[in-house]
Amino acid sequence: MVKIRGFSLIEIIIAVAIFAIVSVYMMRVLDQGHSCSRKLRMRTIAYFLAQEKMEELSTSSYAALFNIPNPDTTASCLAPCPLNCVVPPDECRTQVAGFSDFDREVDVTCPYLGFNNLAKVSVTVYWQGHKGERSFTLESMVANF
């Protein structure tokens, strides 16, 4: 008598179940990797856009950077900076040219009373993430000495 070799129905069901569990786990890992890759890509673009604006501010001519019509005089700035504080101009939140998913804003303050020639420049880049709005801020101190 010839014995037929093969798998029983139970063995096949167990093998399919193990394969399905491993496949679902691998799909979740791949999905998380894709999600992290997208988040990192958006954050990297935001970093470079903030750095680009900071470089633009730092390489501007002295008069343009500090918004001084005549280098021998000082311009007064708006609150909360003290009078005769010399700072670069604020820029309202606007869309970044060439990057429709990103907005950028420049905020300038004089955080130290008595130091009229020292300003804190913050460049913030905003974008829409998976769980709502995200942002990245780059800050630097600017001096007029």
Amino acid letter for position 121: V
d(CA 27, CA 37): 15
> Per the structure block, which two tokens stand in for 11?
């063995």
Domain-located, residue 3: no
Helix ranges (DSSP H) in 60-142 = 62-65
- Whether residue 1 is contained in a domain is answered as no
Instruction: Establish if 2 belongs to a structural domain.
Output: no
Q: Give the count of domains, the chain.
A: 1
In a domain, 138, yes or no: yes
Structural domain boundaries, residue 65: 9-143
pLDDT attached to residue 89: 61
User: What span, in angstroms and rounded, lies between the C-alpha atoms of 61 and 48?
Assistant: 22
d(CA 107, CA 105): 7
In the structure, what pLDDT confidence band is assigned to residue 104 with cuts at 50, 70 and 90?
Answer: very high
- Read off the pTM: 0.65
Partners of 101 in the β-ladder? none
